């Protein structure tokens, strides 16, 4: 492993994902350690460029930085901040679940990264524990904008097939619609996984998982972890809501973390929605 690409010496293979291979590399002149994602197909270069352009404009303590993007010998390469440490998925698996305190701490940091992205009309679309790394200091960093896109740019959605990780997909994503609220659904799935060690929507096939998701049919987290607080349970209930309009936003999650009493405030729109539902029947 001594291959050099445009002044970067590849030092270690890190893994492969939906878009290509990822290597650790060292920049020869600055000696900076980076992660380089090599895209397997040149036809996807534009999608990759989209990932690069989106991430390059992003500066947030809980989102991995992007340094460069270039095409070398027909190979599109994305140069990113190298984030050392395990993924949140590995940490959850190792510990079976996380303490409530740790889960709320990570929830707040990821919600703040999502709020930052959503303020800029960027949707992540692939938020999951496997795409979050924990640094040596225990700080979560969001990786992988492979599926991210500007909220107002539908170009890459006309693929005709589902993209994303099924278990974290929001109900509306099954009909090809993704919005900021879809990331908030995935945040609810992530919070549930941190607290219980299980995905709220498990099944043996994608279509079975899809059916459960579209009905928001999940086991109460308290059934799996009786010690889970009422606040955590209510927060999950307000994130795993089928209607995207009624789901909490990332900003609302941050507000609730600051002031958990907000969870108990009743939704004043609810009686009107019920009435409207009856009138439509
Ligand atoms: N910036 C980075 N720093 C350190 N490791 C990284 C970085 N980006 C990706 N990796 C690691 O490289 C491997 C491949 O990552 P990649 O994002 O391509 O796929 P994935 O997340 O496993 O799958 P998918 O593409 O389906 O989301 C993973 O183990 C990931 O943790």
Give the residue, 28 or 125, on which the prediction is more confident. 28
Between CA 212 and CA 30 the distance in angstroms is 50
Percent of the chain scored above 70 by pLDDT?
A: 84
Which ligand 1 atom lies nearest to the CA of residue 18? 25
Q: Is 64 in the pocket of ligand 1 (CB under 6 A)?
A: yes
pLDDT digits (tens, 9 = 90+) for 55-70: 788 899 999 988 888 8
Between CA 171 and CA 158 the distance in angstroms is 18
Pairing assessment for the beta strands 20-27 and 66-72 based on DSSP bridges: unpaired
**Those residues with Cβ within 8 angstroms of residue 184's Cβ, 6 or more apart along the chain or in another chain:** 114, 239, 247, 248, 249, 250, 253
User: Running DSSP on this structure, what letter comes out for residue 57?
Assistant: T
In total, the chain counts a number of residues equal to 281
Between CA 16 and CA 228 the distance in angstroms is 35
Q: Is 48 in the pocket of ligand 1 (CB under 6 A)?
A: no
pLDDT digits (tens, 9 = 90+) for 22-38: 999 999 999 999 999 88
> What confidence score (pLDDT) does residue 53 get?
78
pLDDT digits (tens, 9 = 90+) for 128-154: 999 999 999 999 999 876 555 444 443
- pTM, entire model: 0.86
Which ligand 1 atom lies nearest to the CA of residue 84? 4
The residues annotated with a catalytic role in the active site are: 126
Instruction: Supply φ then ψ for residue 35, to 5 degrees.
Output: -115, 135
Ligand 1 mean position, distance from CA 23 (Å): 9
Q: Is 130 in the pocket of ligand 1 (CB under 6 A)?
A: yes
Beta carbons of 143 and 85 less than 8 angstroms apart: no
Ligand 1 mean position, distance from CA 22 (Å): 6
Instruction: Supply φ then ψ for residue 210, to 5 degrees.
Output: -60, -40
| For range 248-262, the mean pLDDT | 95
Taking residue 175's Cβ as centre, other Cβ atoms within 10 Å add up to 8
Block residue for tokens 């996984």: 193
- Could you give the angle at the alpha carbon of 244 between the alpha carbons of 281 and 214, nearest 5°? 70
Confidence label for 49 from pLDDT (cuts 50, 70 and 90): confident
Burial state string for 101-128 with b = 16 or more CB within 10 A and e = fewer than 16: eebbbbbbbbbbbbbbbbeeebbbbbbb
ipTM of the complex, rounded to two decimals? 0.95
Q: Nearest C-alpha to atom 29 of ligand 1 is from which residue? A: 15
Between CA 169 and CA 146 the distance in angstroms is 15
Question: How is residue 247 written in tokens?
Answer: 């789901």
| pLDDT tops 90 at residue 116 | yes
Between CA 212 and CA 209 the distance in angstroms is 5
Runs of H (alpha helix) within the chain: 45-56, 88-95, 100-119, 180-196, 206-214, 221-224, 230-239, 250-258, 270-280
């Amino acid at each position: 492993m001594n291959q050099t690409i445009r002044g970067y010496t590849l030092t270690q293979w890190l893994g492969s994902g939906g878009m290509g291979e990822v290597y650790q590399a060292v920049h020869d002149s600055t000696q900076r350690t980076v992660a380089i994602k090599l895209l397997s197909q040149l036809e996807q270069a534009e999608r990759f460029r989209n990932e690069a352009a989106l991430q390059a404009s992003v500066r947030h303590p809980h989102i991995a930085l992007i340094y460069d993007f270039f095409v070398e010998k027909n190979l599109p390469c994305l140069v990113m901040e190298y984030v050392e440490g395990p993924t949140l998925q590995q940490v959850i698996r190792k510990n079976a679940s996380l303490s409530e305190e740790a889960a709320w701490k990570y929830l707040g940091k990821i919600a703040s990264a999502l709020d930052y992205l959503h303020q800029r009309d960027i949707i992540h679309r692939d938020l999951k524990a496997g795409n979050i790394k924990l640094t040596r200091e225990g700080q979560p960093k969001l990786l992988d904008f492979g599926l991210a896109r500007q909220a107002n740019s539908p170009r890459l959605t006309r693929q005709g097939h589902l993209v994303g990780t099924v278990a974290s997909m929001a109900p509306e994503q099954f009909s090809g619609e993704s919005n900021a609220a879809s990331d908030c659904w995935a945040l609810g799935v992530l919070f549930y996984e941190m607290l219980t060690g299980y995905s709220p929507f498990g099944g043996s096939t994608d279509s079975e998982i899809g059916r459960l998701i579209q009905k928001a049919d999940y086991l109460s987290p308290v059934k799996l972890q009786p010690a889970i607080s009422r606040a955590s349970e209510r927060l999950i209930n307000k994130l795993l809501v089928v209607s995207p309009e009624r789901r909490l936003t990332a900003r609302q999650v941050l507000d609730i973390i600051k002031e958990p009493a907000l969870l108990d405030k009743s939704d004043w729109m609810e009686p009107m929605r019920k009435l409207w539902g009856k009138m439509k029947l």
